[in-house]
Structure 1
Amino acid sequence: MRATLIPHVPETHVYPEAISVEFEREGGLLWLRFIIDDNPDFIAWPGDAPVGRADELWKHTCFEAFVTTDDGYREFNLSPSGQWASYRFDGYREGMRPADEVCVVEGLDGGRDYVALEGRIELPVEPRRLGLSAVIETVDGARTYWALAHPSDKPDFHHPDSFVLDLP
């Protein structure tokens, strides 16, 4: 399946030009491929870091998935550095704690006019709906926020109306 992310409150020109996400359920895993259709040179890429779980990845270029469950939802962050995070929430921004589910960032690939990040996330039990998003930091320090939907006046990937896709 493929979905297109939209920028929050687009200005006259928003970098990148477009972001799409290919995704496929593989049993208890969800494969994701975030594709930025544009010259990747304007993006500030996170530097080298130890691969594994880390916090505050959303402060820099990061790709995210949110999965609702019967008992709340999970947030997954995939960084181009190879770092990742998974959090469990009981309700809208309530009860945040590390989740048991893990992620694998499989790396970047690309060319002159696109770049893509692939990863796999371990799905929680009884996953329901899916939200996809991205934070893109530019080399000049600006950030743009991309998601399937923006139901509020500020970027809020946790908003329940942001989870717009049924899991395949």
Structure 2
Amino acid sequence: MQKKFLGFIVLIIISAGLIGCSIMGKNKADAEDISTDKEMEAVENIKKINQKLVDNNDVSITITEKYEVGDRIYKEIGYTVEIVNKRTDVDLQVGISDVTVNGKKNNPLWSTVVSAGSKSNENITWWVGNKSDKYNPNVKTLEDLKNVKGTVVVSNGKTSANIGKYKINIK
């Protein structure tokens, strides 16, 4: 009886050891999987700024922050812009063209319509990731977004008639 009991205890100890090794091996494999997915780590970086780009009788456009969100494979980098439509009679369409970043041509996305007499917060966005190099060859991180020059184009939201073009320089 004692031999059976002792054999049973030995069996439990061996089983516990095997189960423990199995769990440790699984956790090690999980840790390796996580380390290979570093590209999927979330990125979120926001820097508050206050730079007036345009301020006249028609429109006021101010950059309020510089941001970076997404992951290491696919993310957005850009500026949050506050647009105030000072005109009460017409919706304004606002966009950006002829953009360079540190001297290289870029194609950020930004076009919006702001209703008459209202304000809106919008984003000027550089997409970073799959096939973005041909549009934004030198913007990969928030630090790359410097010495941004271009033209803000403001037009009538219904007729597309030109209201103004304004050269900008974002530092």
Please report the TM-score for the alignment, with normalisation by the length of structure 2. Answer: 0.42
Please report the TM-score for the alignment, with normalisation by the length of structure 1. Answer: 0.43
Task: Determine which structure has more spread, i.e. the larger CA radius of gyration.
Answer: 2
